[in-house]
Structure 1
Amino acid sequence: MNAVDRLPAGGTGRRPRADARRNVERLVTAAHAAVAEVGVDVTAHEIARRAGVGIGTFYRRLPSREALLEAVLAELLDEMASVARRAMDDPDPWRGFTDFATAYVQLRAASCGVNDALGGECGLALDPQLARMREYVRLLVAHAHGAGVLRPDVPWEDVAFVLASVTTSTRTVGLRAGADQWWRNLRIVLDGLHAAPGR
């Protein structure tokens, strides 16, 4: 379900007019970009500014800033759960695991808000999505362990933390990270997780 459809209907319960729906769609699009760049602390004023609407329109069309952020982040986390489901179906367990890990880390690298949400302390109602992500990580690790392609001494909880650590700050010891730093970090981490390193 997309973020627009996740938002509660207006107080009348009637189908919104076309222009009202367009405003909601613009607000959702702006919220996606703002959440990625700023994180969950982005203000309603900033989202409205990016959408090209007034703050009054924001609050006429949406129940709250939190409801909008929850809808946007739930959509992103549900998309990630879909990637995990496809990874479970891959006949090659290592390829499925690495495809999921790549998509997961790439999303974390691209969105400050997703990092906030996955940390679980952003104050938004995302518990069902976070529980689903935990379960998929657990299942993917169990699948890779069962196939003998993931180091048996690494529990699924460690995998969750290791994947979260791949996205780093933009600077360290006077160096600036390139746009693909997350990908280079991930390749090193995956090599360390593989039961046969250097594959």
Structure 2
Amino acid sequence: MDMRAVDRLLSDTPDTPRADARRNLERLIAAARTALADTGVTVTAGEIARRAGVGKGTFYRRVPSLDTLLHAVLHEILTEITTAAERADTDPDPWRGFTEFATAYVGLRAESCGVNDILTTPAPDLDATVADIRDALHRLVARAQHAGVLRADLTWHDIAFVLAAVPTPPSTLGLTAAPDQWTRTLRIVLDGLRPAPDPAQ
């Protein structure tokens, strides 16, 4: 079973941590997640410690290294995507399942530079989780196409690149994107993925 980031980081600790130590670790994880969202995988330990309201000494007492913390947090986020895919796979409506997965997947990409970084160039220790997401997308696309609710002329590779392109830049042509622009863009894209109506009907 996949663990939350805090449990993953504590799994190698021989003793049960004090409540305050666990709270500090949870603060570091929350800070790392927001820092990853804003900055990406180039975020520093000092920036995470500052956001968590702790010193760098506390940072390194709670986690072995910056890489260990970032990978635990990224693994937790990627697991949220695979969980969304599992829910979508069991939805009796293939189109609803596909669109709910697409919304969860694009939403995490739109909100986090770190997720975009790792999905573009997976780290070796996260590659298996990224492969699970890839396999889930393949299944969801095949299921929707088999049901006739997704265009048959597209490959699942096409869908992967289409969904990756949905997250909205902050501005274009001198226009500033609204906070929900990515959801509007996704709705437009999803409409374009539906099969054209049969003119004979």
Task: State the TM-score, normalizing by the size of structure 1.
Answer: 0.93
Structure 1 contact 31–72 (Cα < 8 Å) conserved: yes
User: How big is the shift at 1:30?
Assistant: 0.9
Q: What is the percentage of aligned positions where both structures have the same residue?
A: 62
**Correspondences of 1:106-145 after superposition (within 5 Å):** 106-121=107-122, 123=123, 125-145=125-145
Letter in 2 for 1:38: T
Q: Which consecutive residues of structure 2, in runs of 5 or more, have no partner in the other structure?
A: none
User: How big is the shift at 1:125?
Assistant: 2.6
Q: 1:173 & 1:51 partners in 2: Cα distance?
A: 37
Which residue of structure 2 aligns with residue 175 of structure 1? 175
Query: Taking structure 1 as reference, are residues 140 and 10 closer, same or farther at Cα in structure 2, changes over 3 Å only?
Result: closer
Matched, 1:193 2:200: no
Structure 1 contact 48–58 (Cα < 8 Å) conserved: yes
User: How big is the shift at 1:50?
Assistant: 0.9
Q: 2:11 & 2:55 partners in 1: Cα distance?
A: 20
User: How big is the shift at 1:99?
Assistant: 0.7
Q: 1:10 & 1:134 partners in 2: Cα distance?
A: 29
Letter in 2 for 1:135: D
Structure 1 contact 37–112 (Cα < 8 Å) conserved: yes
Letter in 1 for 2:162: V
Q: 1:143 & 1:97 partners in 2: Cα distance?
A: 9
Which residue of structure 1 aligns with residue 5 of structure 2? 3
Q: 1:23 & 1:8 partners in 2: Cα distance?
A: 12
Q: Which consecutive residues of structure 1, in runs of 5 or more, have no partner in the other structure?
A: none
**Correspondences of 1:17-166 after superposition (within 5 Å):** 17-121=18-122, 123=123, 125-166=125-166
Structure 1 contact 66–124 (Cα < 8 Å) conserved: no
User: How big is the shift at 1:10?
Assistant: 5.8
What is the root-mean-square deviation in Å for CA atoms of aligned residues?
A: 1.5
Query: Taking structure 1 as reference, are residues 175 and 109 closer, same or farther at Cα in structure 2, changes over 3 Å only?
Result: same
Question: Per the alignment, in what secondary structure is the counterpart of residue 24 of structure 2?
Answer: helix
